[in-house]
Structures are given as structure tokens and as C-alpha cells.
């Protein structure tokens, strides 16, 4: 059954004001529109319309850890955050390293029906770092996998990385690298290496462990003529490598997380595992470099790295707790607070880094499209004047490892539409 919605008086990209008619899954009309019979009316006075957000980096935990998140609950969190598509990382149990596993994630995403769930395929079997997974079969499957990553682990072996890049080039795929040289930052490294890690007695994770892998991978991308994507870039040195590689025309893209744009390493002083994440929170100099790089295009996208964890995996001594923090529901408010309120970016630029560019990186043809007549009606309405105090108990995620709890953030997501159908209205899910 087709439904029609008239969005009244939205400010498109924070610029000109217009009504949007959503019908048969597309934007049917833009302008000054009188209400068609039977149409739902959404008053968007004072709201900004942007294309639906696209997250290049989400952990949905299904299959294997449905106590932390499922494809359904993660989809809910995504919709509430203004997303219409997410890429679901492969580090599930079992790992998404076969066509069947990818199709299962894809189908569960379809069944949830709140956002487009695109599985990321593992680069290596079982994330083992040695044998390439079924990259071609995953791509040719119903899931059409185009993004491959061993995220959670680094593809540390240069020969394996080279072969993966050569392989995905054939079908225009991309390898998303969790850049962490294991010989410089091993599995227990959990605090930015510096004065603080020494004082706290926490194993250090130096920025150079990220930067050497990024430098190696851009050279491999140049050598193979293939595309590499840097997941969760976290240091000023990584930004320098990216700037240099892009100046040479190397096909590299990069993402930054909301938490690396705002939170700093000194939060670890209280040993609260909520702030334990990989890569670790960095000093203010790195945060400043990441913001500047996002504003000038050196970093292409914001990705959440939404990493839900059950209480019993997080509530441990800092060194033993799981790495990761929630992100989907708060990403846009964080970006608005850090980048827009400060004047570093416009809303149109937010649409670029949170929607159109991530969609292009992942090769999603029907997402991240401009708000124009005939385009798929994937969009989000944002209240730029709202302030919200984050309450982790109000989250629709199954997990509670929310680093923003108690913080005041600017802007809130009021409505999300997936192919014309509202998934969120008045800030709440339309379905329980």
C-alpha cells in the first residue's frame, strides 16, 4: 500500500524552505504544495531536512551476541539516530565471511525493515588474518557486499592486504582497515600512550601504531590501483598521511567517529570502562586535527563505530573490560554540537559527511541521494534548536555503554523516513 506524506515547511539543508511530498517511496514534489487527500502531514516548521544518514561502521552483534544487540534493536537505534542505511561489521559469531552469512544479515535487516542493513564482509576467514574470505562470492550474493573489513582486528600482513585490494578492485569494492600494528599496540593496549597511560599504569596504544598501517595501506592502494578506507581515524599523524596520499591522487577515504571528535584521553583518569574504546580516546591536539580534517575534506565521513556491549562484558576492571561505545542515537547531535554550532561546518556539509559520501564509498546507489524530485524519499528531519541531555536508560539499543550519558548535546532527530515511510516521528519509533 502506498502512503503519502506532506512535510510542511522544512528548511532543505538548513537553507531554503519548502514543502516535500513523499509518495510511492520517492520525493514526488518540492515547493509550495497543497495537501493531497489522505496525506499524512508532518509540520517541519523550524526543522532542517537532510538526506537519510548512512553509517559506514556499525556493530549489530547478531549472530552470536544477541544479548548486546540484535539486527532489529540496532536498526531501531539507527532509525532514532536519523539513519536510513548502516553497514554491519563482520566481527560477529560466526564471522560474516561467506555468502550465506552475508545473506543472513541482509535478510534479517530486511525483516526488521527500519534501515537498509548492508553486511560488511570479512577480509580473511574467521578474521584470522591469513586466508582471504569468499570476497567474490559475497559480492555476487543477494547481499551484494562491496565493503570488506576485519574490523576489531587489523589486516596486519601486507601480502594479505595487497591481495585483498587486488581482488576487490575487480568489482569496485573497498577494504576498510582497522589500522593497528599489533607489534606496536597489542591486544591489551587500551590507553593512548603518553604521560597519562604511564601514570594510570594502563598498557599504552601509541598513535604511531595506527599511522604506520595507514601509510603502508595508502602505498598498497597506489600500487594496486584499488580503494582503501581508513576506519576510525584517530590521530593527527593519520591526517597528515591522508592529506599527502590524497594530494597524489591515491584512492583513499577515511572516517572519524563522533567520540574521537569530542572526547579526550583524560576521561580515562577515573578508570571508567565506558570510555574504553579502540582506537583509544586521544589528546586534544589529535581531536583538533580530526575536526579540521573533517571540515576540509581530508577525512571524508563520520561513522559511528556503534559498539554495544552487555553489562557483564563492560563492568570489569579497565584492562579487562570490552572495547567500544554506543553511537548511533547520538552521532548527529554530537556532530551538530562539535562541527555546526562552532561554525566549522554547514548543514549541507553535514549531509556530505554523514550521508552522500558514505553512501558513495559503500556503493549504495539509492542512499545519500540529494533532496530532489524523483529521488528515493530517504530523509531525516532535525531540530537544530533542541538541546538534549542524554539519558542512557532511554536508549532503544539493548546495551548501555553510552559515553554521552548526562551530557547536553545540541540538535535532535525529529523524524526519519525510509523510502517515504516514517520510521521515526516526533523523535519516537513509529513501531514499538
Ligand X SMILES: NC(=O)N[C@@H](CC(=O)O)C(=O)O
Which option in Zn ion, ligand X, none does residue 323 bind, with CB closer than 5 to 8 A by kind?
Answer: ligand X
- The string over 295-320, giving b where at least 16 C-beta atoms fall within 10 Å of a residue's C-beta and e elsewhere, is beebbbbbbbbbbbbbeebbeeebee
DSSP one-letter code for 115: S
Consult the annotation and say whether 60 binds a ligand.
yes
Q: Does 259 bind ligand X (CB under 6 A)?
A: no
Consult the annotation and say whether 153 binds a ligand.
no
Consult the annotation and say whether 402 binds a ligand.
no
List the grid coordinates of 262: 569530542
Beta bridge partners of residue 177, listed in sequence order: 230
Work out how close the CB of 303 gets to ligand X at its nearest, in angstroms, rounded to a whole number.
10
Which option in ligand X, Zn ion, none does residue 282 bind, with CB closer than 5 to 8 A by kind?
Answer: none
Which option in Zn ion, ligand X, none does residue 116 bind, with CB closer than 5 to 8 A by kind?
Answer: none
Distances (CA, A) of 330 to 82, 98, 152: 10, 32, 22
List the grid coordinates of 75: 536498526
Place of cell 576498510: 176
Q: How far apart are the first and last CA of the chain?
A: 20
Consult the annotation and say whether 378 binds a ligand.
no
User: Is residue 19 annotated as a catalytic residue, yes or no?
Assistant: no
Q: Does 229 bind ligand X (CB under 6 A)?
A: no
Determine the 3-state secondary structure of 290 from DSSP. helix
Residue 74 or 422: which CB sits closer to ligand X? 74
Residue 91 or 265: which CB sits closer to ligand X? 91
With beta carbons less than 8 A apart as the criterion, state whether 118 and 87 touch. yes
Selecting among 55, 305, 313, 383, the annotated active-site residue is 305
> Which helix (H) or strand (E) is 286 found in, with range?
helix 284-296
What is the 3-state secondary structure of 377-402?
Answer: CCEEEEEEEEEEECCHHHCCCCCCCC
Residue 8 or 260: which CB sits closer to Zn ion? 260
Work out how close the CB of 348 gets to Zn ion at its nearest, in angstroms, rounded to a whole number.
28
Consult the annotation and say whether 114 binds a ligand.
no
Q: Does 95 bind ligand X (CB under 6 A)?
A: no
Residue 172 or 186: which CB sits closer to ligand X? 186
Residue 252 or 326: which CB sits closer to ligand X? 326
Work out how close the CB of 64 gets to ligand X at its nearest, in angstroms, rounded to a whole number.
11
Cα distance between residue 161 and residue 203, in whole Å: 27
Q: Does 59 bind ligand X (CB under 6 A)?
A: yes
Determine the 3-state secondary structure of 417 from DSSP. strand
Q: Does 260 bind ligand X (CB under 6 A)?
A: no
The answer for residues whose C-beta is within 8 angstroms of residue 185's C-beta and 6 or more apart is 193, 204, 205, 206, 209, 210
With beta carbons less than 8 A apart as the criterion, state whether 330 and 409 touch. yes
The answer for residues whose C-beta is within 8 angstroms of residue 429's C-beta and 6 or more apart is 76, 79, 80, 114, 396, 423
Binding ligand X (rule: CB under 6 A), the pick from 277, 290, 335, 411 is 277
Q: Does 306 bind ligand X (CB under 6 A)?
A: no
Work out how close the CB of 324 gets to ligand X at its nearest, in angstroms, rounded to a whole number.
3
Work out how close the CB of 18 gets to Zn ion at its nearest, in angstroms, rounded to a whole number.
37
Distance of CA 381 to the CA centre of its chain: 19
- Residue 66, class by beta-carbon neighbours within 10 Å (0-12 exposed, 13-18 middle, 19+ buried)? middle
Binding interface with Zn ion (CB under 5 A): 151, 178, 305
Consult the annotation and say whether 151 binds a ligand.
yes
Place of cell 554523514: 354
Interface with ligand X in residues 151-190 (CB under 6 A): 151-152, 178
Q: Does 323 bind ligand X (CB under 6 A)?
A: yes
Tell me the number of residues near ligand X by CB under 6 A.
Answer: 11
Which option in ligand X, Zn ion, none does residue 324 bind, with CB closer than 5 to 8 A by kind?
Answer: ligand X
Work out how close the CB of 202 gets to ligand X at its nearest, in angstroms, rounded to a whole number.
15
Residues at the annotated binding site? 57, 59-61, 91, 151, 178, 232, 278, 305, 309, 323-324
Residues at the annotated binding site for substrate? 59-61, 91, 278, 309, 323-324
State the residues that interact with ligand X by CB under 6 A: 59, 91, 151-152, 178, 277-278, 305, 307, 323-324
Residues at the annotated binding site for Zn(2+)? 57, 59, 151, 178, 232, 305
Q: Which residues are known catalytic residues?
A: 305
Amino acid at each position: 500500500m502506498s502512503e503519502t506524506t506532506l512535510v510542511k515547511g522544512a528548511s532543505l539543508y538548513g537553507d531554503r524552505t519548502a514543502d516535500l511530498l513523499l509518495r510511492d517511496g520517492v520525493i514526488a514534489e518540492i515547493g509550495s504544495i497543497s495537501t493531497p487527500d489522505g496525506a499524512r502531514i508532518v509540520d517541519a516548521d523550524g526543522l532542517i531536512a537532510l538526506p537519510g544518514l548512512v553509517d559506514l561502521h556499525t556493530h549489530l552483534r547478531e549472530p552470536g551476541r544477541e544479548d548486546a544487540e540484535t539486527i532489529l534493536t540496532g536498526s531501531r537505534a539507527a532509525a532514532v539516530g536519523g539513519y536510513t542505511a548502516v553497514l554491519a561489521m563482520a566481527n560477529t559469531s560466526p564471522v560474516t565471511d561467506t555468502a550465506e552469512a552475508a545473506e543472513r544479515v541482509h535478510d534479517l535487516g530486511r525483516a526488521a525493515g527500519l534501515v537498509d542493513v548492508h553486511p560488511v564482509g570479512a577480509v580473511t576467514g574467521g578474521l584470522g588474518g591469513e586466508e582471504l574470505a569468499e570476497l567474490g562470492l559475497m559480492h555476487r550474493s543477494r547481499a551484494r557486499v562491496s565493503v570488506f573489513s576485519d574490523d576489531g582486528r587489523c589486516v596486519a600482513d601486507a601480502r594479505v592486504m595487497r591481495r585483498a585490494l587486488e581482488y576487490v578492485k575487480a568489482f569496485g569494492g573497498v577494504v576498510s582497515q582497522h589500522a593497528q600494528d599489533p607489534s606496536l599496540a597489542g591486544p591489551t593496549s587500551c590507553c593512548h600512550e603518553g604521560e597519562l597511560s604511564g601514570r594510570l599504569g594502563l598498557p599504552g596504544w601509541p598513535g604511531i601504531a595506527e599511522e604506520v598501517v595507514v601509510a603502508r595501506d595508502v602505498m598498497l592502494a597506489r600500487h594496486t590501483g584499488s580503494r582503501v578506507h581508513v576506519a576510525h581515524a584517530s590521530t593527527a599523524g593519520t591526517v597528515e598521511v591522508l592529506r599527502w596520499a590524497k594530494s597524489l591522487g591515491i584512492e583513499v577515504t577515511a572516517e572519524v567517529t563522533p567520540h574521537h571528535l569530542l572526547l579526550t584521553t583524560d576521561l580515562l583518569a577515573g578508570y571508567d570502562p565506558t570510555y574504553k574504546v579502540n582506537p583509544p580516546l586521544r589528546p586534544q591536539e589529535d581531536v583538533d586535527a580530526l575536526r579540521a580534517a573533517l571540515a576540509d575534506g581530508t577525512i571524508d565521513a563520520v561513522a559511528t563505530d556503534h559498539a554495544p556491549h552487555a553489562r557483564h562484558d563492560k563492568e570489569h576492571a579497565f584492562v579487562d573490560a570490552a572495547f567500544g561505545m554506543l553511537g548511533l542515537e547520538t552521532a548527529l547531535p554530537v556532530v551538530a554540537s562539535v562541527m555546526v554550532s562552532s561554525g566549522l561546518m554547514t548543514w549541507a556539509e553535514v549531509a556530505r559527511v554523514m550521508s552522500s559520501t558514505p553512501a558513495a564509498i559503500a556503493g549504495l546507489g539509492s542512499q545519500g541521494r540529494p533532496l530532489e524530485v524523483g529521488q528515493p524519499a530517504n530523509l531525516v528531519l532535525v531540530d537544530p534548536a533542541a538541546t538534549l541531555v542524554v539519558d542512557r536508560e532511554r536508549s532503544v539499543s539493548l546495551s548501555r555503554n553510552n559515553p554521552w550519558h548526562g551530557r547536553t548535546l545540541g540538535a535532535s532527530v525529529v523524524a526519519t523516513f525510509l523510502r517515504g515511510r516514517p520510521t521515526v516521528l516526533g523523535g519516537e519509533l513509529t513501531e514499538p
